[in-house]
């Protein structure tokens, strides 16, 4: 296998000499590089919906959309995230991209952090959203 990463645009002549110690061969060819790959940067992530109202024990899913430096977007809902809550008793994230209302009435903020390494250069970014919970006692 021969690997090469172009550093400029243009025509490049490549000559490959191959030998197994007994036989050998030389092949030449031209590689045309017309556009270098662009390194995309993650500029923002957005969570939708960004506010929720849940009843005690309720669950609601959310989506996460990545915005990149070239203007493109991607649904990264099933990516790898970390979550933090300001109050575990009010709201938590038991499953990827699902919020669960806890046992206590109040307001909590869930922080979603996306940090990953793929073929794209990615920075750590954080988005927060607020969950308002109203506990409705059973039987009322």
CB-based contacts of 94, cutoff 8 Å, min separation 6: 59, 100
Q: Which of 130, 126, 50 is nearest to 81 (CA)?
A: 126
Could you read off the pLDDT of 43-94 as tens digits, one per residue? Answer: 888 888 877 888 778 888 888 888 888 888 989 888 777 777 888 888 888 8
Q: What is the CATH number of the domain that holds 117?
A: 2.60.40.1080
Q: How many domains does the chain divide into?
A: 1
Q: How far apart are CA 36 and CA 17, in angstroms?
A: 27
Domain-embedded: residue 9 = no
Domain-embedded: residue 68 = yes
pLDDT at site 135: 59
Domain-embedded: residue 115 = yes
Q: How far apart are CA 109 and CA 85, in angstroms?
A: 6
115 CB-contact burial (10 Å; exposed 0-12 / middle 13-18 / buried 19+): middle
Task: Among 16-25, 34-43, 70-79, 109-118, name the one with the lowest average pLDDT.
Answer: 109-118
Domain-embedded: residue 13 = no
Predicted TM-score of the model (pTM)? 0.56
Q: How far apart are CA 59 and CA 53, in angstroms?
A: 10
Domain-embedded: residue 14 = no
pLDDT at site 134: 62
Q: By residue range, what is the domain housing residue 93?
A: 42-133
DSSP lists the bridge partners of residue 73 as 67
Domain-embedded: residue 6 = no
Domain-embedded: residue 61 = yes
Domain-embedded: residue 95 = yes
- Average pLDDT, rounded, for the chain: 76
pLDDT at site 121: 29
CA 31 and chain centroid, separation: 33
């Amino acid at each position: 296998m021969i690997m090469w990463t172009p550093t400029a645009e243009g025509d490049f002549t490549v000559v490959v000499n191959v030998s197994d110690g007994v036989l050998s061969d030389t092949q030449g060819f031209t590689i045309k590089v017309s556009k270098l790959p662009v390194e995309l940067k993650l500029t923002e992530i957005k969570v939708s919906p960004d506010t929720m109202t849940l009843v005690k024990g309720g669950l609601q899913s959310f989506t996460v959309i990545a915005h990149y430096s070239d203007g493109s977007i991607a649904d990264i809902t099933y990516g790898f995230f970390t979550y933090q809550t300001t109050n575990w008793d009010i709201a938590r994230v038991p499953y990827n991209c699902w919020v669960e209302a806890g046992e206590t009435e109040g307001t909590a903020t869930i922080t979603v952090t996306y940090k990953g390494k793929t073929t794209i250069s990615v920075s750590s970014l954080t988005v927060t959203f607020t969950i308002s919970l109203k506990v409705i006692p059973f039987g009322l």
